[in-house]
């Protein structure tokens, strides 16, 4: 045994001998052998010894460590040749190419970024240990997605000039399916109720469409937080998730999740106070609180109360106020006393408003939408409202706001708006098809932001079996500095009613008009306009109903009218297209002024409301009621001004324009002087990432009908349908699809379960 120990000791001494077996000598010259890509100068930069210095064993060891530390070399050797120091190196190869195969769930861009962060980049030195780290990290990421069967094979192919090609071949496999989720220790609520809060679930009938049933670590962490919030919002102040076990079967295909919880006791709210530096009356702050004596404790209500107080202080310029809720717990009585401590901080003023990114839009076009004033105190609601107004312009893809403090002050900030310009000019020419309009030919030129002025200019030409339309519009949203808008229009329209499922007649209308809009407040607006129309009506004797012919015999077939219109609108929607919160109300009236060929009026009221729910769901309710009639020498509302219902844009599931009164002699709808339509929809989040601005899916219930007069409106005459729909804002226009099933209908109603419009509809 003693002999073997001496033998091992000798081997260890021999192993370190090259580094330390130098007798000190003065280096006259240094040679480096084995360099291929690394320059001699680069190597010398890392050497801790220079010509003329005394070289020792300690410096030899330091030189080897320094060269290895660079990562450039696989092997380093030192030896003495006379008074010359010779360094022999073996360079590590460089990475000539990196190829990745089989990655679907992890995008190539994300992988490239991850590889760059660890140094596995084309052109750099190849280090096997880094490749091992990459494999481990990829396994970790795939495991977090529930893909435990993932296999990652690496191939290193040597190339000429000391280079290598690195290939990562990934076999992702299928995500593990969740077979069971158990919550152990839950007594206050049924397990099914708790699991209803989870995004994770066991497989369902639609698992082949969505990701239900698939395990993902990040989703589990999110669900655990939802479970915690569920209990804390229902008074269980000491709720705790004691442990979570995720068990994977040997096949790596199935996952069993067990969550062990401790509910604790339920607590109620005791005394509620507001304390601190109260720059706003205490009574006003108390009115904002969502918690009160005796109610069940809720963390959500406490957080909402703090947020409301902060928002209220933000109105008065205390933009960086801190509101902290301090609980005092009585464990014996299970009561929580709450004190909201208010620290308003300094009132903050806006020194300067800066706008960047508006490469197309003029500076004043952006500034006139900003409600925050320079020199005034910073108001959070005004800043938020400014952002919404800029988003609703439709000019910008993004609006970002920053409030950096002014150096050297503690009560001033700059307000920076950084906008990202979007496409505001559009030229389209093409064709489409609609079930109502038939084949559509369209060509249009539209400038939403003409020459950066914010003015809208459009010229359209559309031709279908129903309509031929030529239209020119020019809108100046700030015709005056106070925000009064002006719209000028010139139009021509030719209609063949027979092609739209209506009682047959032909009409030709041309005209021009002007409209002014006046803002009454941030959300209220009124408008008034005057439009001249010249209309000529002709009939097809066999297909035109007698009532139409009688009306024309009484009133003539060529008409000049001046149409005076006005409207009031109230709009709090966050977006004009695909809104998900807010309200829209509009009351409109139009009157054909007396003294010309026709005298009639039309009234309408529209309402839309959007309510965000949970999981990205949005509840929508909308209704339209409209009525019209003749007056003076015009006995009734002209039939070409009648209302119609049915189809994609009103009551889905019924053929377009077929609801309401019909002419029995020709069995065609003739419309009516009154209409009532209501729509209820549940909007779902877009199933594809990035599609939320162009795709909207919904389940709907529609109800409505057309009536001869306003007095004829009756609930028992309403038609009702239910179904699902999809709207896609494609490059050629809005594409609308619906599958509707009539629920309440009459035997004579014309049903149409699947309806669509492709192209631009009118």
pLDDT per residue as tens digits for the range 257-283:
999 999 999 999 999 999 999 999 999
CB 440 within 8 A of CB 760: yes
Residue with tokens 């309403």: 718
Position 133 confidence tier, pLDDT thresholds 50, 70, 90: confident
Q: What mean pLDDT value characterizes the chain?
A: 86
Separation of alpha carbons 548 and 526, rounded Å: 35
Residue pLDDT, tens place only, 213-228: 788 888 899 999 999 9
* Backbone phi and psi for residue 111, each to the nearest 5 degrees, phi listed first: -65, -45
Question: Beta strand 719-730 with 733-744: parallel, antiparallel or unpaired?
Answer: antiparallel
Q: Residue range 635-646: average pLDDT?
A: 90
Q: Please report the pLDDT score of residue 441 as a whole number.
A: 56
Separation of alpha carbons 311 and 215, rounded Å: 39
Q: List all residues 6 or more positions away from 403 whose beta carbon is below 8 Å from its beta carbon.
A: 319, 378, 383, 413, 414, 415, 416
Q: Residue range 628-636: average pLDDT?
A: 89
Separation of alpha carbons 470 and 151, rounded Å: 62
CB 136 within 8 A of CB 67: no
Position 476 confidence tier, pLDDT thresholds 50, 70, 90: very high
Q: Is 378 left (phi over 0), alpha (psi -120 to 50) or beta?
A: beta
Separation of alpha carbons 715 and 367, rounded Å: 49
Name the token pair of 739. Answer: 């599958």
> Where are the CATH 2.40.160.50 domain residues in the chain?
425-758
Top pLDDT among 695 and 416 is at 416
Considering only CA atoms, which of 302, 332, 310, 337 is closest in space to residue 232? 302
Handedness of CA 185, 188, 192, 196 (dihedral sign): negative
* Chain centroid offset of residue 139 CA: 30
CB 348 within 8 A of CB 319: yes
Top pLDDT among 694 and 653 is at 653
Residue 20 pLDDT greater than 50, yes or no: no
- From residue 351, how far is each of 383, 416, 419, 673 by CA, in Å? 14, 11, 20, 57
Residue pLDDT, tens place only, 36-56: 878 888 888 888 888 888 888
Centre a 10 Å sphere on the Cβ of residue 706 and count the other Cβ atoms it contains.
30
Separation of alpha carbons 271 and 327, rounded Å: 10
> Where are the CATH 3.10.20.310 domain residues in the chain?
17-91, 94-171, 177-262, 268-343, 349-421
Question: Beta strand 254-262 with 177-184: parallel, antiparallel or unpaired?
Answer: parallel
Residue 431 pLDDT greater than 70, yes or no: no
Q: Residue range 396-401: average pLDDT?
A: 88
Separation of alpha carbons 201 and 181, rounded Å: 8
Top pLDDT among 689 and 8 is at 689
Beta partners for 724? 699, 739
Please write down the HEC assignment for all residues of 172-208: CCCCCEEEEEEEECCCCCCHHHHHCCCCCCCCCCCCC
Rg over CA atoms, the chain: 38
Handedness of CA 631, 632, 635, 638 (dihedral sign): negative
Of 3.10.20.310, 3.20.20.60, 3.40.50.300, 3.20.20.20, which CATH number belongs to 94-171?
Answer: 3.10.20.310
- From residue 424, how far is each of 336, 444, 465, 626 by CA, in Å? 55, 13, 30, 34
Residue pLDDT, tens place only, 315-366: 898 988 999 999 999 999 999 999 999 999 999 999 999 999 999 999 999 9
Residue pLDDT, tens place only, 504-537: 788 899 999 999 999 998 899 999 999 999 999 8
pTM assigned to the model: 0.62
* Chain centroid offset of residue 707 CA: 40
Greatest alpha-carbon span in the chain: 131
Please name the CATH architecture into which domain 349-421 falls.
Roll (3.10)
Residue 436 pLDDT greater than 50, yes or no: no
Considering only CA atoms, which of 691, 701, 760, 692 is closest in space to residue 725? 701
Fold type of domain 425-758: Porin (2.40.160)
Q: Please report the pLDDT score of residue 447 as a whole number.
A: 84
Position 435 confidence tier, pLDDT thresholds 50, 70, 90: very low
DSSP conformation class of 520 = -
Residue pLDDT, tens place only, 273-311: 999 999 999 999 999 999 999 999 999 999 999 999 999
Separation of alpha carbons 721 and 639, rounded Å: 27
Q: Please report the pLDDT score of residue 758 as a whole number.
A: 60
Name the token pair of 264. Answer: 């604790």
CB 279 within 8 A of CB 344: yes
Separation of alpha carbons 622 and 725, rounded Å: 16
Q: Please report the pLDDT score of residue 9 as a whole number.
A: 39
Please name the CATH architecture into which domain 17-91 falls.
Roll (3.10)
Q: Please report the pLDDT score of residue 725 as a whole number.
A: 93
Q: Residue range 357-383: average pLDDT?
A: 92
Name the token pair of 385. Answer: 């409202």
Class of domain 268-343: alpha beta
Q: Residue range 732-747: average pLDDT?
A: 84
Segments in 206-251 forming alpha helices (H): 217-232
Fold type of domain 177-262: Ubiquitin-like (UB roll) (3.10.20)
Length of the chain as a residue count: 762
Centre a 10 Å sphere on the Cβ of residue 231 and count the other Cβ atoms it contains.
24
Report helix, strand and coil shares of the chain as percent, to nearest 5: 20, 45, 35
């Amino acid at each position: 045994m003693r002999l073997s120990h001496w033998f091992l000791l000798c081997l260890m001494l021999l192993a370190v001998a090259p580094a330390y077996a130098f007798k000190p000598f003065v280096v006259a010259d240094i040679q480096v052998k084995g360099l291929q890509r690394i320059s001699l100068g680069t190597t010398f930069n890392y050497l801790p010894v220079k010509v003329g210095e005394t070289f020792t064993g300690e410096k030899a060891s330091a030189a080897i460590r320094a060269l290895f530390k660079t990562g450039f070399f696989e092997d380093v050797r030192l030896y003495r040749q006379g008074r010359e120091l010779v360094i022999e190196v073996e360079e590590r190869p460089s990475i000539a190419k990196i190829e990745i195969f089989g990655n679907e769930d992890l995008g190539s861009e994300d992988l490239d970024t991850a590889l760059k962060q660890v140094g596995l980049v084309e052109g750099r030195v190849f280090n096997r240990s880094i490749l091992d780290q990459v494999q481990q990290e990829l396994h970790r990421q795939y495991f977090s997605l529930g893909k435990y069967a993932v296999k990652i094979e690496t191939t290193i192919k040597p190339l000429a000039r000391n280079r290598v090609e690195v290939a990562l071949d990934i076999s992702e496999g299928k995500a593990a399916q969740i077979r069971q989720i158990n919550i152990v220790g839950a007594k206050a609520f049924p397990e099914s109720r708790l699991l209803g809060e989870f995004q994770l679930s066991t497989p369902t009938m639609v698992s082949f469409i969505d990701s239900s049933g698939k395990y993902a670590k990040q989703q589990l962490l999110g669900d655990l937080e939802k479970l915690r919030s569920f209990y804390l919002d229902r008074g269980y102040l000491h709720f705790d998730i004691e442990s979570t076990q995720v068990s994977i079967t040997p096949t790596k295909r199935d996952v069993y999740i067990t969550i062990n919880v401790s509910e604790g006791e339920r607590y109620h709210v005791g005394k509620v106070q507001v304390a601190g530096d109260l720059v706003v009356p205490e009574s006003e702050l108390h009115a904002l609180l969502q918690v009160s004596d005796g109610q069940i404790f809720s963390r959500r209500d406490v957080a909402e109360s703090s947020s409301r107080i902060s928002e209220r202080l933000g109105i008065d310029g205390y933009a960086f106020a801190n509101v902290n809720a301090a609980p005092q717990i009585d464990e014996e009585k299970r009561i929580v006393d709450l004190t909201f401590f208010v620290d308003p901080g300094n009132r903050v003023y806006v020194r300067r408003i800066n706008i960047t990114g508006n490469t197309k839009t003029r500076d004043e076009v952006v500034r006139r939408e900003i409600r925050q004033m320079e020199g005034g105190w910073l108001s959070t609601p005004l800043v938020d409202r400014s952002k919404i107004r800029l988003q609703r312009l439709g000019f910008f893809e993004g609006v970002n706001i920053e409030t950096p403090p002014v150096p050297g002050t503690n009560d001033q900030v700059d307000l920076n708006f950084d906008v990202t310009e979007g496409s505001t000019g559009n030229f389209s020419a093409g064709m489409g098809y609609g079930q109502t309009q038939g084949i559509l030919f369209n060509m249009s030129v539209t400038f939403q932001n003409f020459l950066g002025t914010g003015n809208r200019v459009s010229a359209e030409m559309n031709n279908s079996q129903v309509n031929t339309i030529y239209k020119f519009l020019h809108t100046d949203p700030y015709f005056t500095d106070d925000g009064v808008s002006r719209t000028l229009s010139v139009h021509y329209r030719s209609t063949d009613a027979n092609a739209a499922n209506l009682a047959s007649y032909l009409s030709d209308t041309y005209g021009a008009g002007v409209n002014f809009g006046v803002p009454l407040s941030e959300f209220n607006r009124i408008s008034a306009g005057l439009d001249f129309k010249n209309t000529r009506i002709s009939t097809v004797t066999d297909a035109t109903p007698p009532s139409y012919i009688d009306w024309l015999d009484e009133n003539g077939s060529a008409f000049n009218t001046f149409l005076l219109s006005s409207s009031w609108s109230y709009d709090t929607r966050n977006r004009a297209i695909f809104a998900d919160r807010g309200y829209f109300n509009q009351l409109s009236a139009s009157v054909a002024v007396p003294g010309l060929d026709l005298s009639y009026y039309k009234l309408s009221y529209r309402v839309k409301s959007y309510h965000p729910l949970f999981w990205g769901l949005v509840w929508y309710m909308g209704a339209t009621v409209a009525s019209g009639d003749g007056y003076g020498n015009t006995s009734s509302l002209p039939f070409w001004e009648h209302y119609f219902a049915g189809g994609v844009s009103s009551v889905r599931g019924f053929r377009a324009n077929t609801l309401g009164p019909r002419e029995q002699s020709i069995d065609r709808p003739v419309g009516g002087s009154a209409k009532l339509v209501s729509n209820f929809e549940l909007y779902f989040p877009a199933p594809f990432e990035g599609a939320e601005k162009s795709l909207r899916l919904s389940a709907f219930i529609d109800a409505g009908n057309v009536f001869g007069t306003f007095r004829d409106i009756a609930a028992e005459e309403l038609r009702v349908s239910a179904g699902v729909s999809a709207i896609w804002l494609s490059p050629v226009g809005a594409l609308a699809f619906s599958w509707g099933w009539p629920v309440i209908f009459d035997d004579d109603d014309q049903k149409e379960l699947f309806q669509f419009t492709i192209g631009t509809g009118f």
